[in-house]
DNA sequence: GTTCCGATGTACT
DNA sequence: GTACATCGGAACG
């Protein structure tokens, strides 16, 4: 699948496909180990109920970033996907740090490696993602994606921090990874 | 290990 | 005014 094509699937499919992919921002990054899917039919999604000033990028073309501030303090980074159905996106929740560890530690305040990117807010701080990248094209610098070449074991479960749609099992993780924001249980295999 | 809490921008009632 | 796709530190065991 091409770097552009990977974003043109349902949120659930893209969230699954990106587990094990490498992701860098200006050369800083690592392996995506945790994602969550959201779409317009989903009461937990910002896109549920249609476009607003904040969620604009979710209703634009796939392959763009949707960055928003949460709890007034942190940033969350999403990949807009599904060209056939607007309002779909994948939240990147955790990364296994591989490149630019020194930069990440400086930005995060010298945290242990497993705590550098183990959550959506932490990951944005470590990678330097903020509102300046909202709406940016994910197929162009500073972004770089490389999909996994081998099949990876994926765990799946309910999403974190949501109240509405809490049962929907749209959180995906690299099975057994110690870099997750929180553990997952059920295991299956995917590419 | 656990629970509780404060920080505080933006959307929405 | 209230809720929210969070985090880190304090208090406790």
pTM metric for this prediction: 0.93
Phi, psi of A105 (to 5 degrees): -60, -40
Name the nucleotide nearest A42; use CA and C1': C5
Q: What are the tens digits of pLDDT across the range A21-45?
A: 999 999 999 999 999 999 999 999 9
Give A174's strand partners: A154
**How many angstroms separate the CA of A130 from the C1' of C1?**
28
Q: What are the tens digits of pLDDT across the range A43-70?
A: 999 999 899 889 999 999 999 999 999 9
**How many angstroms separate the CA of A133 from the C1' of C7?**
22
Name the nucleotide nearest A118; use CA and C1': C7
Name the nucleotide nearest A51; use CA and C1': B11
List chain A domain ranges.
3-190
Q: How far apart are CA A58 and CA A80, in angstroms?
A: 6
CATH fold of the domain at A3-190: 3-methyladenine DNA Glycosylase; Chain A (3.10.300)
């Amino acid at each position: 699948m091409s770097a552009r094509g990977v974003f043109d699937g349902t949120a659930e499919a893209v969230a699954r496909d990106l587990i094990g992919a490498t992701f860098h921002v200006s050369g800083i990054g690592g392996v995506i180990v945790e994602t969550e899917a959201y779409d317009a039919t989903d009461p937990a999604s910002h896109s549920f109920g249609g476009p607003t000033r904040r969620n604009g990028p979710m209703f634009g073309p796939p392959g763009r970033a949707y960055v928003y501030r949460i709890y007034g303090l942190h940033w969350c980074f999403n990949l807009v996907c599904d060209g056939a159905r607007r309002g779909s996106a994948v939240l990147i929740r955790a990364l296994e740090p591989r490149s630019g560890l020194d930069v990440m530690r400086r930005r995060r305040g010298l945290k242990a490696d497993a705590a550098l990117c183990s959550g959506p807010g932490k990951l944005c701080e470590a990678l330097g993602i903020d509102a300046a990248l909202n709406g940016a094209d994910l197929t162009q610098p500073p972004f770089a994606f490389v999909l996994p070449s081998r099949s990876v074991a994926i765990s799946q479960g309910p999403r974190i921090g949501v109240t509405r749609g809490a049962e929907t099992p749209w959180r995906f993780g690299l099975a057994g990874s110690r870099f997750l924001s929180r553990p997952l249980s059920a295991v299956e295999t995917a590419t």
